[in-house]
Amino acid sequence: MRLMADLHIHSRFSIATSPKLTVPSLDRWARIKGIDLLGTGDCTHPKWLNELAGVLEPEEDGFFRLTKQTQEAFDSIQALADDLPDPTAERSVRFVLTGEISTVYPRGGRTRKVHHLVILPGFPAAKRFQTMLGKIANLSSDGRPTLRIDSRDLLSMLLAADERSILVPAHIWTPWFSVLGARSGFDSIEECYGDLASRVGAIETGLSSNPPMNWALSALDRFAIISNSDAHSPDKLGREATIFTMEPSFTGLADSLSGAAGGPAGSVAETIEFFPQEGKYHYDGHRACGVSLSPAESADLQGLCPVCGKPLTPGVMRRVLELADRPMDEWAPCPPSPLPLPGLSGANRRPYHSLVPLAELLGQLMGVGPGTKKVAAAYAALVEKAGSELALLMDLPIEKIGRLACPGCPGEILAGAIGLMRRGEVSVRPGCDGVYGEVKFTFDIKQVTINQDRYLSAEKL
Ligand SMILES: [Zn+2]
Ligand SMILES: [Zn+2]
């Protein structure tokens, strides 16, 4: 079974997240986006875990579903009040218990700060894990708790709570909070998790890196490569995601995350990515000095800022090049089919899609902000016709997109932009030092022939 999954998200109990992050709103937005399997996020938070237990019912082993009653109540009251898009595609969203944990601790004379995605096989396991962590940290203050323990010991506690549990190092390249981060981490996954490293079978690329960047390290060959949104509000779900081919159960997910080639019950099939240049830490730079440099340019200046003279905040690109033992091509095309055999180098290479979120794309084409009413109206019309956002961005044939009637944005123009995006023909200003990069669609709108009748009737919608 093909399942679109987003495993790393947050609830409203994490710091700096949207109050709209409730279980039924996540369910609704997963349907809008086209997600089949959603991580609950924040499963170590006592209130959130209780809330989840109250509205989810078991589906397959270790997977859950929102009760019909809760879903219908939300759809008929809150979703109407908030004017949320009404996805037409019949989709029932499965949930799996996940959370993110930050470990901060000294090792080898340096402070290490590493974020981990944890996935648990059910409520009893999550409850046990919560009880264990509750003895060493205050779990109620943040849905993503910070623990003063070694990453290896966190993994050991997770496995003690239930040995089927899964740990995936989160957004492994971000400079300040990740396992391979320049300012926070280690030079290898093995160094971080020590004798338990063999229990880690997958890595998360994060928004600032894409699969080809990770293929440049032979040390990462044995890991399955996955992507998740790390969403802090419901409308950001699925901005990165993973398509699995798997049996719909915790066993299927565990097999898929057990290593590069997966296992008998499942494996990674494809991933959905940001353009990595859009990530907040792609290049080296200084936000305040307006400086953004490629690894080569920064190396020429010994990593020092040409404006203030202080060390630049290192970007993900520089760090990947530091650890890479193969040439890196961040624009490398998808690997040819058939995929390399398990055990061979490259066994974790999978096709990937570089996408720009639909609201951002519409904002650019319409010359307004992605959060405006105009974009919301166009977004809703398109989701209702295409079935979901990801179906529109990835699957709907370009000719069909061209014939869509969409208020504020002629279908022909949208089709042009989506075609360019699917082929990777975009221009990019790389992000750095906490500032997002920008992807632009460089096509001449005047060259596009628009069916005025269809467009004007859509305007009246
Ligand atoms: Zn994180
Ligand atoms: Zn500076």
> Could you say which ligand is closest to the alpha carbon of residue 305?
2
Cα–Cα distance between 264 and 261 in angstroms, integer? 10
Residue 10's CB is within 10 A of a number of other CB atoms, namely: 28
Å from CA of 172 to ligand 1 middle? 9
How far is CA 341 from each of CA 20, 140, 253, 403, rounded to the nearest angstrom?
44, 46, 20, 41
> Could you say which ligand is closest to the alpha carbon of residue 229?
1
How far is CA 436 from each of CA 211, 222, 269, 344, rounded to the nearest angstrom?
19, 30, 28, 36
Å from CA of 300 to ligand 2 middle? 15
Rounded to 5 degrees, φ, ψ at 449 are: -90, 125
pLDDT attached to residue 138: 93
CB of 98 within 8 A of CB of 10? Answer: no
Cα–Cα distance between 257 and 148 in angstroms, integer? 27
> Could you say which ligand is closest to the alpha carbon of residue 184?
1
pLDDT attached to residue 271: 96
Å from CA of 65 to ligand 2 middle? 49
pLDDT attached to residue 278: 87
Å from CA of 230 to ligand 1 middle? 7
Å from CA of 386 to ligand 1 middle? 32
Å from CA of 115 to ligand 1 middle? 5
Å from CA of 177 to ligand 1 middle? 7
Å from CA of 195 to ligand 2 middle? 41
How far is CA 377 from each of CA 88, 270, 364, 417, rounded to the nearest angstrom?
16, 30, 15, 19
Å from CA of 432 to ligand 2 middle? 12
> Could you say which ligand is closest to the alpha carbon of residue 8?
1
One DSSP character per residue, 206-272 reads -TT--HHHHHT-GGGTTSEEE----BSSGGGTTSSEEEEEE-SSHHHHHHHTSSTT-BTTEEEEEEE
> Could you say which ligand is closest to the alpha carbon of residue 310?
2
All domains of the chain, ordered by start, with CATH? 2-278 (3.20.20.140), 284-323 (no CATH), 356-459 (no CATH)
Å from CA of 144 to ligand 1 middle? 8
**Which residue's structure tokens are 């590069």?**
260
CB of 29 within 8 A of CB of 21? Answer: no
**Which residue's structure tokens are 């004379």?**
109
> Could you say which ligand is closest to the alpha carbon of residue 293?
2
CB of 284 within 8 A of CB of 436? Answer: no
Å from CA of 355 to ligand 1 middle? 21
CB of 234 within 8 A of CB of 20? Answer: yes
> Could you say which ligand is closest to the alpha carbon of residue 292?
2
Q: Would you call 233 exposed, middle or buried from its count of C-beta atoms within 10 A (0-12, 13-18, 19+)?
A: middle
> Could you say which ligand is closest to the alpha carbon of residue 170?
1
Å from CA of 116 to ligand 1 middle? 7
- As given in the structure block, the two tokens for residue 328 are 């890196």
Å from CA of 433 to ligand 1 middle? 16
Å from CA of 304 to ligand 2 middle? 8
Å from CA of 285 to ligand 2 middle? 7
One DSSP character per residue, 50-107 reads HHHHHHEEE-STT-EEE-HHHHHHHHHTHHHHTT-----S----EEEEEEEEEEEEEE
pLDDT attached to residue 339: 61
H or E stretch at 291: strand 291-293
DSSP 8-state code for residue 370: T
Å from CA of 291 to ligand 2 middle? 7
Å from CA of 210 to ligand 2 middle? 27
pLDDT attached to residue 342: 56
Å from CA of 154 to ligand 1 middle? 15
Per-position pLDDT tens, the chain of length 461? 999 999 999 999 999 999 999 999 999 999 999 999 999 999 999 999 999 999 999 998 999 999 999 999 999 999 988 889 988 777 899 999 999 999 999 999 999 999 999 999 999 999 999 999 999 999 999 999 999 999 999 999 999 999 999 999 999 999 889 999 988 999 999 999 999 999 999 999 998 899 999 999 999 999 999 999 999 999 999 999 999 999 999 999 999 999 999 999 999 999 999 888 888 889 999 999 999 999 989 999 999 999 999 999 989 999 999 999 998 888 887 776 556 555 556 789 999 999 999 999 999 899 999 999 999 999 999 999 999 999 999 999 999 999 998 898 889 999 999 999 998 888 888 999 999 898 887 766 666 666 667 666 666 65
Å from CA of 178 to ligand 1 middle? 8
Q: Which residue, among 190, 193, 189, 126, has the nearest Cα to 156 in the 3D structure?
A: 193
Under DSSP, is residue 117 helix (H, G, I), strand (E, B) or coil? Answer: strand
Å from CA of 255 to ligand 1 middle? 24
Å from CA of 218 to ligand 1 middle? 24
Q: Which residue, among 37, 53, 46, 39, has the nearest Cα to 13 in the 3D structure?
A: 46
Å from CA of 100 to ligand 1 middle? 7
Q: What angle do CA 50, 52, 54 make, to 5 degrees?
A: 70
Residues contacting residue 241 through CB under 8 Å, at least 6 positions apart: 4, 5, 6, 35, 227, 228, 229, 271, 272, 390
pLDDT attached to residue 329: 85
How far is CA 28 from each of CA 24, 335, 368, 375, 393, rounded to the nearest angstrom?
6, 34, 26, 19, 19
